Protein backbone atom coordinates (compact mmCIF):
# COMPACT_ATOMS: atom_id res chain seq x y z
CA UNK A 1 0.00 0.00 0.00
CA UNK A 2 1.02 3.58 -0.60
CA UNK A 3 0.33 6.82 1.23
CA UNK A 4 -1.33 9.70 -0.64
CA UNK A 5 -3.50 12.80 -0.39
CA UNK A 6 -6.72 13.31 -2.35
CA UNK A 7 -6.25 16.43 -4.50
CA UNK A 8 -9.14 16.21 -6.95
CA UNK A 9 -11.79 14.13 -8.68
CA UNK A 10 -12.55 12.89 -12.17
CA UNK A 11 -15.96 13.29 -13.80
CA UNK A 12 -16.71 10.78 -16.55
CA UNK A 13 -20.02 10.43 -18.37
CA UNK A 14 -18.83 7.40 -20.34
CA UNK A 15 -16.76 4.69 -18.66
CA UNK A 16 -16.35 0.94 -18.41
CA UNK A 17 -19.55 -0.67 -17.15
CA UNK A 18 -17.62 -2.17 -14.19
CA UNK A 19 -16.90 1.35 -12.92
CA UNK A 20 -20.53 2.52 -12.90
CA UNK A 21 -21.35 3.98 -9.48
CA UNK A 22 -17.70 4.19 -8.38
CA UNK A 23 -15.96 7.51 -7.76
CA UNK A 24 -12.61 8.28 -9.37
CA UNK A 25 -10.29 10.54 -7.36
CA UNK A 26 -6.92 12.13 -8.10
CA UNK A 27 -4.30 11.19 -5.50
CA UNK A 28 -0.89 12.78 -4.93
CA UNK A 29 1.50 10.14 -3.55
CA UNK A 30 3.31 11.36 -0.41
CA UNK A 31 6.13 10.18 1.85
CA UNK A 32 5.54 9.35 5.55
CA UNK A 33 6.71 12.92 6.23
CA UNK A 34 3.82 14.09 3.95
CA UNK A 35 6.06 15.47 1.19
CA UNK A 36 4.91 14.98 -2.42
CA UNK A 37 6.44 11.91 -4.01
CA UNK A 38 5.93 11.21 -7.70
CA UNK A 39 3.18 11.92 -10.21
CA UNK A 40 -0.51 12.15 -9.38
CA UNK A 41 -2.62 9.08 -10.09
CA UNK A 42 -6.32 8.42 -10.67
CA UNK A 43 -7.73 5.94 -8.14
CA UNK A 44 -11.10 4.26 -7.79
CA UNK A 45 -12.52 4.91 -4.31
CA UNK A 46 -14.18 2.34 -2.05
CA UNK A 47 -13.96 4.42 1.15
CA UNK A 48 -15.80 7.69 0.56
CA UNK A 49 -12.61 9.77 0.85
CA UNK A 50 -12.84 13.49 0.26
CA UNK A 51 -10.61 16.34 -0.90
CA UNK A 52 -7.53 16.87 1.25
CA UNK A 53 -7.78 13.55 3.12
CA UNK A 54 -4.77 11.37 3.73
CA UNK A 55 -5.36 7.88 2.30
CA UNK A 56 -3.78 4.51 1.65
CA UNK A 57 -4.03 3.33 -1.93
CA UNK A 58 -2.97 0.17 -3.69
CA UNK A 59 -2.21 -0.75 -7.28
CA UNK A 60 -2.04 -3.72 -9.66
CA UNK A 61 -4.30 -6.76 -9.13
CA UNK A 62 -4.75 -5.90 -5.44
CA UNK A 63 -6.60 -2.72 -6.48
CA UNK A 64 -9.60 -4.78 -7.61
CA UNK A 65 -9.78 -6.83 -4.38
CA UNK A 66 -11.46 -3.97 -2.48
CA UNK A 67 -14.61 -4.43 -4.57
CA UNK A 68 -15.01 -8.23 -4.27
CA UNK A 69 -17.24 -10.09 -5.03
CA UNK A 70 -17.95 -7.53 -7.77
CA UNK A 71 -15.50 -7.44 -10.66
CA UNK A 72 -14.13 -3.90 -10.99
CA UNK A 73 -11.34 -3.28 -13.47
CA UNK A 74 -8.97 -0.73 -11.91
CA UNK A 75 -5.22 -0.10 -11.72
CA UNK A 76 -5.35 1.84 -8.45
CA UNK A 77 -7.84 1.98 -5.56
CA UNK A 78 -8.10 3.96 -2.34
CA UNK A 79 -8.50 1.32 0.37
CA UNK A 80 -8.29 3.33 3.62
CA UNK A 81 -8.61 6.82 5.07
CA UNK A 82 -5.75 7.62 7.49
CA UNK A 83 -6.93 9.15 10.76
CA UNK A 84 -3.52 9.54 12.40
CA UNK A 85 0.07 9.09 11.30
CA UNK A 86 2.94 8.63 13.75
CA UNK A 87 6.44 8.63 12.26
CA UNK A 88 9.37 7.54 14.43
CA UNK A 89 12.47 9.48 13.54
CA UNK A 90 15.99 8.21 13.87
SS (H, E, C) the chain: CEEEEEEEEECCCCCCHHHCCCEEEEEEEECCCCCECCCCEEEEECCCCCCCCEEEEEECCHHHHCCCCCCCCCCEEEEEECCCCCCCCC
Q: Is residue 89 scored above 80 in pLDDT?
A: no
Can you give the residue ranges of every domain in the chain? Answer: 2-81
Could you give phi then psi for residue 10, rounded to 5 degrees? -115, 130
Task: Encode pLDDT of 35-86 as tens digits.
Answer: 999 999 999 999 999 999 999 999 988 888 888 887 788 899 999 999 998 8
Kindly report the pTM of this predicted structure.
0.88
* Residues 30 and 87 sit within 8 Å (Cβ to Cβ): no
2-81 placed in CATH 2.40.50.220: yes
**Mean pLDDT across the stretch 16-37?**
91
Mean pLDDT (whole number) for 8-16: 88
Amino acid sequence: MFLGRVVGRVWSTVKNQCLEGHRLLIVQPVTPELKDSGKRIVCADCTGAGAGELVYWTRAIEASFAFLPAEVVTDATIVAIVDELHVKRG
